[in-house]
């Protein structure tokens, strides 16, 4: 499978991000971020644990590089691979093994899954017990969550807070940190209680990049996964990069049964067909509806399967993506009155479906290649 660095469009995206990072007016390293870095550096020697939150789809590229500059660091550092539900399960397992071989403690989590967060909370409680056995005598344990923008720190903080308070049967008003799909919305450090007897707190912090970014491949991955604001690159380029990756993978083959199910759907009774048609008319503009996602997968499977060109050739795969955009306009109910505007709407919807896991599970980098090098 081609890597993100192989493709011209990935290089263009990476270059655009690097150029933006060098802009004096760049949004992800303004005065509020510089202040946040100072606040983190002052507090980090006082916490018991550092939870470095990474994106499971890019477990290496989402490293929190600024962590290397903070001193002294707590003895306990845990790499938490969030958004595990969006990553390739096999690659995620390889990644966990990779970290274990290097004596890094790691844990994978889906911050939106209650049972998954409960398991993480139990894991953290076990680490706290070990800390107390090693001589920690404090009545309060503090964990600081660190990470780059949009890896899900705030969502995870809220989930740990809600579930931890419920598990401890505590009363009182629950707090909420700001959760947004847009990177950089968390501005301040916020403390949330996640356990009692002993008391356990997490500190949610703003997502921070280094002052400058240099690696084209890493920047392309950060942009595709949503760590970089979309308007820096443009949703159209990002959607085309995703389709390039999809077309070069085997993920689409999982949708082969959709063509057969489509034939079965057409053979249903008139009454069922009318009911389905009414349902479609009611929600036709919502691309997240199951029946539209079904059609999107089917169209992508059919266009890739019918393609007889060279997937390693930039021009050929570009033509395939053009064909896919044209077909997707229909299934996504996008009017064709303005071609460029229509493509932008298709790109926005496809990007959203990718980032929410509706179009498969993708890990954009492979630790196995590093292990061999």
Kindly indicate the confidence band of residue 29, based on its pLDDT and cuts at 50, 70 and 90.
low
The answer on pLDDT for 282 being more than 90 is no
Q: Which of the pair, 336 or 243, is modelled with greater confidence? A: 243
For strands 105-108 and 190-195, give the pairing.
unpaired
Query: Any bridge partners for residue 80, and if so which?
Result: 53, 107
Question: Which region among 140-154, 157-171, 329-343, 357-371 has the lowest average model confidence (pLDDT)?
Answer: 157-171
Residue 196 half-sphere exposure toward CB, CA atoms < 13 A? 10
CA distance 237 to 230: 10
Dig out the tokens for 296 from the structure: 């999107």
Kindly indicate the confidence band of residue 2, based on its pLDDT and cuts at 50, 70 and 90.
very low
Residues 83, 55: contact at Cβ < 8 Å? yes
Q: Which of the pair, 65 or 186, is modelled with greater confidence? A: 65
The answer on pLDDT for 347 being more than 80 is yes
Dig out the tokens for 303 from the structure: 């266009």
Average the pLDDT over 107-133 and give the result. 94
Average the pLDDT over 93-103 and give the result. 95
Q: Which of the pair, 180 or 72, is modelled with greater confidence? A: 72
The answer on pLDDT for 184 being more than 60 is no
Q: Name the phi and psi angles at 141, rounded to 5.
A: -115, 135
Kindly indicate the confidence band of residue 200, based on its pLDDT and cuts at 50, 70 and 90.
very high
CA distance 37 to 29: 10
The answer on pLDDT for 274 being more than 80 is no
Spatial CA neighbour of 327 closest among 354, 345, 344, 302:
302
**Which pLDDT does position 316 carry in this prediction?**
94
**Which pLDDT does position 26 carry in this prediction?**
61
Question: SS3 of 193, please?
Answer: strand
Question: SS3 of 142, please?
Answer: strand
DSSP string, 63-79: --GGGGG-SSPPSEEEE
């Amino acid at each position: 499978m081609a890597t993100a660095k192989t493709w011209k469009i990935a290089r263009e995206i990476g270059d655009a991000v690097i150029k933006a990072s060098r802009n004096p007016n760049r949004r992800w390293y303004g005065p509020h971020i510089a202040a946040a870095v100072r606040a983190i550096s002052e507090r980090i020697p006082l916490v018991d644990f550092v939870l470095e939150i990474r994106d499971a789809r890019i477990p290496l590229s989402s490293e929190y590089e600024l962590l290397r500059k903070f001193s002294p660091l707590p003895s306990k550092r845990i790499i938490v691979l969030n958004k595990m539900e969006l990553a390739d399960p096999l690659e995620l397992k390889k990644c966990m093994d990779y970290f274990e071989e290097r004596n890094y403690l790691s844990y994978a989590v889906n911050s939106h899954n209650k049972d998954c967060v409960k398991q993480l909370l139990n894991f953290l409680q076990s680490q706290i017990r070990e800390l107390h056995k090693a001589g920690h005598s404090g009545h309060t344990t503090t964990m600081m969550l660190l990470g780059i923008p949009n890896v899900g720190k705030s969502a995870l903080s809220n989930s740990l807070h809600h579930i931890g308070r419920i598990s401890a049967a505590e009363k009182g008003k629950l707090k909420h940190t700001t959760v947004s799909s847009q990177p950089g919305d968390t501005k301040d450090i916020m403390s949330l209680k996640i356990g009692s007897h002993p008391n356990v707190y997490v500190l949610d912090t703003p997502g921070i990049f280094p002052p400058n970014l240099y690696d084209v491949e890493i920047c392309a991955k950060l942009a595709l996964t949503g760590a970089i604001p979309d308007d820096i690159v443009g949703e159209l380029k990002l959607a085309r990069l995703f389709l390039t990756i999809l077309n070069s993978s085997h993920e689409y083959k999982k949708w082969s049964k959709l063509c057969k199910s489509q034939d079965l759907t057409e053979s249903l009774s008139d009454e069922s067909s009318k009911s389905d048609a009414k349902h479609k008319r009611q929600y036709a503009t919502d691309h997240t509806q199951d029946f539209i996602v079904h059609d999107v997968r089917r169209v992508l499977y059919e266009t890739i399967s019918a393609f007889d060109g060279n997937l390693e050739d930039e021009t050929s795969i570009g033509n395939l993506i053009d064909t896919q955009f044209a077909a997707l306009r229909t299934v996504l109910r996008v009017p064709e009155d303005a071609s460029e505007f229509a493509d932008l709407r298709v790109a926005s919807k496809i990007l959203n479906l990718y980032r929410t896991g509706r179009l498969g599970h993708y890990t954009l980098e492979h630790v196995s290649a590093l292990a061999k090098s």
